[in-house]
Amino acid sequence: MPETLRALPSLLLILAICYGVAFFAAQFQPDTWYTALEKPAWTPPEWVFAPVWSLLYGMMAVAAWLVWQRRDSDGVAASLAAFAFQLVLNGAWSWLFFGLNLVTVALAEILLLWLAVALTTVLFFRQRALAGWLLVPYLIWLSYAVSLNAGIAALN
C-alpha cells in the first residue's frame, strides 16, 4: 500500500477531532444577548466567522497530522500535547462567551488560548516548518478575536 494511503486514516481521525471541537463550539451561537451587546467598530458581519473557522480547523488538523507523522522524533509528544490543550481551550471559549455570557472570563481564557497557540506554533515549527506555517493564520485570527473580545468587554 502506498505511504499516502497508509497515512490517510490518521489524517481523517485528526480532521474528525478538530471538526468535532468545531461542532461543539458551534452549539453556542450568537443570540439576542450577543446582538444586544455594544461591539467594536472592527467587528465583522456574523457570516464571516463560520467560513474562517472552518478553514482554520482544517489547517490545524493538517498541521497536527504533519507533526504526528514524525511521531518517532523528539518533542513530538510535547508538540501534540500542546496542540490538544489549545484545542480544548478553543472549544471552551465559545461555551464561556456565547453559552454562559461570561465576557470577561472568556477574555482571560482567550488570552490563555493565544499563549497556548503561540507555544504550539513554535513547537510545530521545530518539528516541521509547514506545520508551523499552517498555524500562523490561526494565531493571526486569534489575535483579532482577542481584540474583539477585549473590545466587547470594554464596551459592556
Over the chain, what HEC string results?
A: CCHHHHHHHHHHHHHHHHHHHHHHHHCCCCCHHHHHCCCCCCCCCHHHHHHHHHHHHHHHHHHHHHHHCCCCCCCHHHHHHHHHHHHHHHHHHHHHHHHCCCHHHHHHHHHHHHHHHHHHHHHHHHHCHHHHHHHHHHHHHHHHHHHHHHHHHHHC
Q: Are 42 and 148 in contact, with CB atoms under 8 Å apart?
A: yes
Residue 3: the pLDDT is 65
Tens digits of residue pLDDT in 33-71: 999 999 999 999 999 999 999 999 999 999 999 999 998
Q: Which residues of the chain have pLDDT under 50?
A: 1
Domain coordinates in residue numbering, the chain: 3-26+52-155
Residue 29: the pLDDT is 87
Q: What is the pTM of this model?
A: 0.93
Q: Are 41 and 86 in contact, with CB atoms under 8 Å apart?
A: no
Residue 118: the pLDDT is 98
* Domain covering 3-26+52-155 in this structure, CATH number: 1.20.1260
Residue 30: the pLDDT is 86
Q: CA nearest 89: which of 72, 73, 106, 101?
A: 106
